[in-house]
Amino acid sequence: MSEVELLILLLVAVATSAITAVVGAGGGLILLIVILQFVDPLVAVPVHAVIQLFANSTRAVTLRGEADWEVLRPYLAPVLPVTVAGYLLADGVPEDGGRAVIGVFALVAVWWPAATNWLAPSPGRGHRFALVGALNGLLQPTIGATGPLLSPAFKAATRDHPAFVATFAFAQVFNHSAKIVVFGLAGLAWSEHSGMMIVGIIGVVVGTRIGSQWMRRVDARLLDGLFAAAVTAGALRLLLGWVL
C-alpha cells in the first residue's frame, strides 16, 4: 500500500472504531469495505480480523464488568469448527463474487436488521446462541464483518446498551481469533501485509479509546444514520464493481 492509502486506512480505522465503541457494532464493516478497495477478499478478511481483534479486545477490557457470559458461553462453542467449514466455502468464491456477497450483506445488515431478530426474540439464551455462533462461523470467512447482521440477536438478549457493547465485543474477540487461526493454517503470508495491520491496529485502539468515553453521551440515533449512509455507499460501490 502507498503512504496515502495507509493514511486513509488509519483515519478510517480511528473513525469506525469510535463509532463501534458508541453504537456497539457496524464500524468494522465500513473498515472492511475500505480495505477491500486495496486488496482481494481472501486477504482483506484476515487482515481486517487482526485489526478488529485489537479493537474489540480494547473495548472488551474497558467494559469487562458489563459482559453477560450466559449469552457468550453457548455462542462460543461452535465458532471455531464452523469457521473452518466456512473457509472451505470462501476459498471457492471468485474475487468479484466475494465483494458482491459482502455488498449484499452490508445492505441487508443496514436496511433489514429484523432479519436476525428471530435468533433471540426474548432474553432467553440457550441453544439459540449456539445457532448464532454456528451461523457466524459459516459466514465470516466470506463476509468478514458479520457484526451488523448478528448484533440484533445480542442486543435483544442483553439487559442494556453497555452490556450489549461489552458482550458483543467479547464475542467478536473470539470471532476474529477464529479467522486468524483458520487463515493462518491456510498459509496466508502475514508479513506481506504487516504495514496495513500495524496502521490499522493503531487506528482502532485510538478510536476505541475515544468512542468509549462518548458512549453514554452521544445520541446513538445520529451515529446510526451516518453509519447507514456510509455502509450503503460502500456496498453499492462493491456491487457496481461486480456488475460492471
User: Contact, 141 vs 45, CB < 8 A?
Assistant: yes
pLDDT digit string, tens, across residues 198-221: 999 999 989 888 887 776 676 767
- Which pLDDT does position 150 carry in this prediction? 74
pLDDT digit string, tens, across residues 170-201: 998 988 888 888 888 878 888 888 889 999 99
- Which pLDDT does position 95 carry in this prediction? 61
Confidence of residue 10 (pLDDT cuts 50, 70, 90): very high
pTM of the model: 0.76
Q: Which amino acid is at 10?
A: L
User: Contact, 101 vs 93, CB < 8 A?
Assistant: yes
Residue 142: is its pLDDT beyond 70?
Answer: yes
How far apart CA 164 and CA 124 sit, in angstroms, is 15
Residue 42: CA count within 13 A, CB half-sphere? 19
- Which pLDDT does position 96 carry in this prediction? 67
The grid cell for 75 is 455462542
Contacts of 121 (CB under 8 A, 6+ apart): 156
Domain that holds residue 31: 3-243
How far apart CA 226 and CA 149 sit, in angstroms, is 17
User: Contact, 200 vs 13, CB < 8 A?
Assistant: yes
Element (H, E) at 38: none
Q: Is 207 exposed, middle or buried (0-12, 13-18, 19+ CB in 10 A)?
A: buried
User: Contact, 39 vs 47, CB < 8 A?
Assistant: yes
Percent of the chain with pLDDT over 70: 86
CA dihedral 111, 117, 118, 124 (to 10 degrees): 180
How far apart CA 222 and CA 227 sit, in angstroms, is 9
Look at the chain and report how many structural domains it folds into: 1
- Which pLDDT does position 121 carry in this prediction? 45
Percent of the chain with pLDDT over 90: 9
Average of pLDDT values for 84-102?
73
